[in-house]
Structure 1
Amino acid sequence: MKLSDLLAGQDHHVLRGDPRRTEITAGATFDADRVTPGSVFAAVPGHLTGGPEALAPAVARGAVAVLVDDQAPPLPAATGHVCAVRVPDVRKAAAVVAARYFGEPGRAMELIAVTGTNGKTSVSYMVESVLRIAEGVRVGVIGTAGSRIGDEPVPMPPSVLTTPESPDLQYLLGHMRDRATGSVVLEATSMGLLTHRLDRTFIDVGVFTNLTQDHLDDHGTMENYRDAKLRLFQGLCRRAVINADDPVGAGIRALMPDAVTTYALDADADYRASDLVVDASGTRFTLHHDGRKYPAAIPSPGRFSVSNALATLAACHLLGHGLAGLVDALERMPQIPGRFERLQAPNGASVIVDYAHSPDSLDKVLTTIRGFARGRVITVFGCGGDRDTTKRVEMGAIAGAHSDLCVLTSDNPRHEDPEAILDQIAPGIEAAGTPFERYTDRRRAIAAALGTAGPDDIVLIAGKGSEPHQIVGDTLLPFSDMATVRELIVG
């Protein structure tokens, strides 16, 4: 495609070359080391593997056009033979370019985007499961655990981004469209929304789950964090499904007054649950919608699981899928990897692996476990490095309040000293008077917890869920909590 067609209607100024004669044959990228001949290099300021300082290497690898912003320094001499275009915001322009290059694939499928502090991955898996079980729909999933169509992973370079950068996201959507995918559900993170990764995705339904403290290292204040989430409902989706139990939901209703559907456990809503019965195997409840009642169940314990189920049912029903079939499929869905994922040890102890990595999510998971625990609750957890430090002592206090024993360990330490992170968590546990141990080696910590657990005890391993790696420095080291548990209890 001609660069002029990809930029049509966008505010831009040609610095060099002719976009009408520049043929783009390899899409766009922010990463200089992923440039291939025929691509557009979008020089995003501050990008770790790109930016204006990477213009020369990108051109040397075959970029035929470059996008820079108003603050970019003069173009290096090595870029003299390529088309150069200045745009007000490189990320916004790149999202449009990438979408058009792949033929705006979001238009060809049902798209559901899920945002909120907690529940994004769970709702995504639930949507995929109920549509597949109820109607045999081929569903694409894009999120924390990577990208897949059904059980088929979509190969992509390793990344820690839940919401991929716009060139990668548009590629994934195009790949899914070309493989006859009927629906796509994706996780919309606050940073993904703030940096225009979801622009031009043509989302049919945006889902809001909740807002609790997290990611203040990125946003500074809860107000900024909230406003980033709300971007999904400011022109990026046609309809909204919102949690009426969360006060932020009222703000979304004001943004989209004629296109909001609500769900709730406590508040009045379009989709509501009552009569919850929780045990270790799951939760039974009554669904209320449009004057009718539906007996329902989900193979995951807890109020938060029912809230996620309501979001799933509302979003899928809103797209025209039959509610009775969706409710039936909900009960038959498999466990969600890394989300209250359960395993029984040979000695009778139970192991639960969960992604809970914020104060609110850890409190909800532990409160649920306490509701059916017959023995001790042993909690293995840590906090991520280079992330909000203000939540560490609070998470220690929550774990201490709900556990009989805590085992502190590394999560993703990144560039921080793991021992220093544990030092910041420990006072919260100490204030609760709960005994604890500490091992920066996560495998050793899990082994210690399993070693002390007896019949009827529950070991919660929190923080990483289904993540297949641990981030140490800039390195992704292979590590899976559930795989580690299986190795330890078998061997």
Structure 2
Amino acid sequence: MELSKLLDGYDHQVLQGDPGTQISGGMSFDAHRMAPGSLYLAVPGHREGGPEAIGRALERGAVAVLVEGGVPAGVTVPDDVCVVSVPDSRRASAVAASRYHGEPGREMDMVAITGTNGKTSVSYMIESVLRAATGARVGVIGTSGSRVGDEPIPMPRTVLTTPESPDLQYLLGYMRDRRTSSVVLEATSMALLTHRVDRAFIDIGVFTNLTQDHLDDHGTMESYKNAKLMLFQGLCRRAVVNADDPVVAQIQALMPDATTTYAVEAEADYRATDLVVDGAGSRFTLHHDGRKYPAAIPVPGRFSVSNALATLAACHLLGHDLAALVGALDRMPPIPGRFERFVTPLGTSVIVDYAHSPDSLEQVLSTVRGFAAARVITVFGCGGDRDATKRAAMGRIAGVLSDLCVLTSDNPRTEDPEQILDQIASGLSGTGTVFERIADRRQAIRFALAAAGPQDIILVAGKGSEPHQIVGEELIPFSDMDVVRDLART
């Protein structure tokens, strides 16, 4: 496709070269991923690229360059290479990438989920319910990678939870070409702030909740919230919003005629009552449009019911039969790393969960506490190079709701693991709960298994289904559930 057509109607200026240059090799922010005939998107500050990497991109086959402002001093671009200047390279990249792949989001039902907690769970639930109730071919893009049905889509390891716009549009085009009818994607706050989901043509935007997290990226809760709200400022046609969260009022103000609500406590368009939670799952009555539907999900917890309501509302708004959707809920397979359960040969129950914020840890532990017959043992840590203000709070929560805590490393990254444990312990020590400090995560899980009795429940929190641990700059293979299963056999 001609470069000029990729940016037609978008504010741009040709600095040199032929705007009719054919782009045939795709596009990327990453200078190392250029192919012959590609467009290099020189986005400032990108770790694997930026304007300073234009030379490397050209060496690898780029035939045109998109820059923000102009080419930096000292960077030489041959006269036959077309250079286009735009006021905002991320916004322009989303436009160009979408057009290059034929605006695939227009051809599928698109659901994007934002919020602090529940994004991955709701995406899995939507996929599962649509497949079971309608037989639909569903694409998923999120924390656990990208796939169409059961087919994973290989992508470079550097691709984010919500991919940069060139990768996202490539994935959407891939899914469209494989006759995918619906796509569900996780829209992180940073993805919204950096325009990764622009031009995805989202039909339903789902908001789950807002609690403390990612202050290392956003600085304040107000900035964090405002990033989430970007989904509801022209990026989606309809909103599905948790009415139990106070942010609902702001989304309703942004989309007054296109907001549907769900709730466990507040009045809402889709509401749950009569909750019954035990170790096997949750049962409730769904109220919608004057009708009642008995419902069940094989995941315990009020938060799981809230996620189920978001799922039902989004899928129903896409035009699917509500009774069939409700019937598909209790047939959901387990969600990897989200309240994922295992029983050891000795009878100890182990739950692996991604809970890594104060609110999510409190919700999971409160649920476990509600049906635990004996002790609750919690193994957890906090990520390094991330919001340190939540560490003491998580320590306090774990101490209040556990009988024994084992503090360990999460993804320490470049921080000293022991200093992270010091900060967690500062909140935990005041609760009076007994705790151990074992920085080696495998050994911490081993200790918890050895300390547990047959009726005890062990919660291993923080990493969920992540297949590795980040130590320094290195990715070390590590799966909490695989380690639990391995140690339980020894």
Q: TM-score, normalised by structure 1?
A: 0.98
- Cα separation, 2, equivalents of 1:406 and 1:157: 37
Asked whether the equivalents of residues 124 and 335 of structure 2 are also in contact (C-alpha less than 8 Å), the reply is yes
Asked whether the equivalents of residues 119 and 308 of structure 1 are also in contact (C-alpha less than 8 Å), the reply is yes
Q: Secondary structure at the match of 2:72?
A: coil
Name 1:218's counterpart in structure 2.
Answer: 217
Q: Which amino acid aligns with 1:332?
A: R
Name 2:16's counterpart in structure 1.
Answer: 16
Tell me whether 1:201 sits opposite 2:196 in the alignment: no
Q: Which amino acid aligns with 1:2?
A: E
- Cα separation, 2, equivalents of 1:79 and 1:470: 43
- Cα separation, 2, equivalents of 1:160 and 1:73: 27
Name 1:330's counterpart in structure 2.
Answer: 329
Asked whether the equivalents of residues 59 and 79 of structure 1 are also in contact (C-alpha less than 8 Å), the reply is no
- Cα separation, 1, equivalents of 2:262 and 2:217: 29
Gaps of 5+ in 2: none
> Cα distance, 1:67 vs. partner?
1.1
Q: Which amino acid aligns with 1:206?
A: G
Q: Deviations over 1:130-152 (max 9, x none)?
A: 00011111100000000011111
Q: Secondary structure at the match of 1:64?
A: strand
> Cα distance, 1:441 vs. partner?
1.4
Name 1:6's counterpart in structure 2.
Answer: 6
> Cα distance, 1:474 vs. partner?
2.4
Tell me whether 1:138 sits opposite 2:137 in the alignment: yes
Tell me whether 1:382 sits opposite 2:381 in the alignment: yes
**Aligned pair in 2 of structure 1 residues 75, 319: CA closer, same or farther (>3 Å)?**
farther
> Cα distance, 1:71 vs. partner?
6.5
Name 1:38's counterpart in structure 2.
Answer: 37
> Cα distance, 1:202 vs. partner?
0.2
Q: Secondary structure at the match of 2:330?
A: helix
Name 2:171's counterpart in structure 1.
Answer: 172
- Cα separation, 2, equivalents of 1:338 and 1:151: 17
Q: Deviations over 1:266-309 (max 9, x none)?
A: 11100000000000010000000000000000000010000000
- Cα separation, 2, equivalents of 1:117 and 1:71: 37
**Aligned pair in 2 of structure 1 residues 216, 318: CA closer, same or farther (>3 Å)?**
same
Name 1:369's counterpart in structure 2.
Answer: 368
Tell me whether 1:312 sits opposite 2:311 in the alignment: yes
- Cα separation, 1, equivalents of 2:329 and 2:432: 40
Name 2:24's counterpart in structure 1.
Answer: 25
**Aligned pair in 2 of structure 1 residues 284, 11: CA closer, same or farther (>3 Å)?**
same
Q: Secondary structure at the match of 1:77?
A: coil
Asked whether the equivalents of residues 18 and 80 of structure 2 are also in contact (C-alpha less than 8 Å), the reply is no
Asked whether the equivalents of residues 363 and 398 of structure 1 are also in contact (C-alpha less than 8 Å), the reply is yes
> Cα distance, 1:81 vs. partner?
3.2
Q: Secondary structure at the match of 2:377?
A: strand
Name 2:339's counterpart in structure 1.
Answer: 340
Q: Secondary structure at the match of 2:292?
A: strand
1:251-400 to structure 2, matched below 5 A, reads: 251-400=250-399
Asked whether the equivalents of residues 55 and 79 of structure 1 are also in contact (C-alpha less than 8 Å), the reply is no
Q: Which amino acid aligns with 1:344?
A: V
- Cα separation, 1, equivalents of 2:187 and 2:96: 20
- Cα separation, 1, equivalents of 2:276 and 2:360: 20
- Cα separation, 1, equivalents of 2:118 and 2:270: 17
- Cα separation, 1, equivalents of 2:472 and 2:38: 31
> Cα distance, 1:416 vs. partner?
1.0
> Cα distance, 1:120 vs. partner?
0.3
Q: Deviations over 1:75-110 (max 9, x none)?
A: 622544311111111111111111000000001100
Q: Deviations over 1:140-178 (max 9, x none)?
A: 000000001111100000136210110000010000000
Question: Any runs of at least 4 consecutive aligned residues in structure 1 with deviations exceeding 3 A, and if so which?
Answer: 78-81
Asked whether the equivalents of residues 56 and 79 of structure 1 are also in contact (C-alpha less than 8 Å), the reply is no
* Structure 1, 415-424 or 75-84: larger mean CA deviation: 75-84
Q: Secondary structure at the match of 1:332?
A: coil
Q: Deviations over 1:357-391 (max 9, x none)?
A: 00000000000000000111110111011111100
**Aligned pair in 2 of structure 1 residues 343, 81: CA closer, same or farther (>3 Å)?**
same
Name 1:447's counterpart in structure 2.
Answer: 446
Q: Secondary structure at the match of 1:368?
A: helix
- Cα separation, 2, equivalents of 1:126 and 1:68: 40
Considering only aligned residues, what root-mean-square deviation do their CA atoms show, in Å?
Answer: 1.0
Name 1:416's counterpart in structure 2.
Answer: 415
- Cα separation, 1, equivalents of 2:71 and 2:489: 57
**Aligned pair in 2 of structure 1 residues 299, 79: CA closer, same or farther (>3 Å)?**
farther
Q: Deviations over 1:112-132 (max 9, x none)?
A: 000000000000000000000
- Cα separation, 1, equivalents of 2:25 and 2:452: 54
**Aligned pair in 2 of structure 1 residues 229, 72: CA closer, same or farther (>3 Å)?**
farther
Q: Deviations over 1:171-191 (max 9, x none)?
A: 100000000111000000000
Tell me whether 1:458 sits opposite 2:483 in the alignment: no
- Cα separation, 2, equivalents of 1:157 and 1:46: 19
Gaps of 5+ in 1: none
Q: Deviations over 1:9-42 (max 9, x none)?
A: 111111110112x110011100011111111111
Tell me whether 1:61 sits opposite 2:66 in the alignment: no
- Cα separation, 1, equivalents of 2:5 and 2:477: 42
- Cα separation, 2, equivalents of 1:378 and 1:28: 49
- Cα separation, 1, equivalents of 2:216 and 2:26: 32
- Cα separation, 2, equivalents of 1:30 and 1:339: 32
Percent identical pairs in the alignment equals: 73
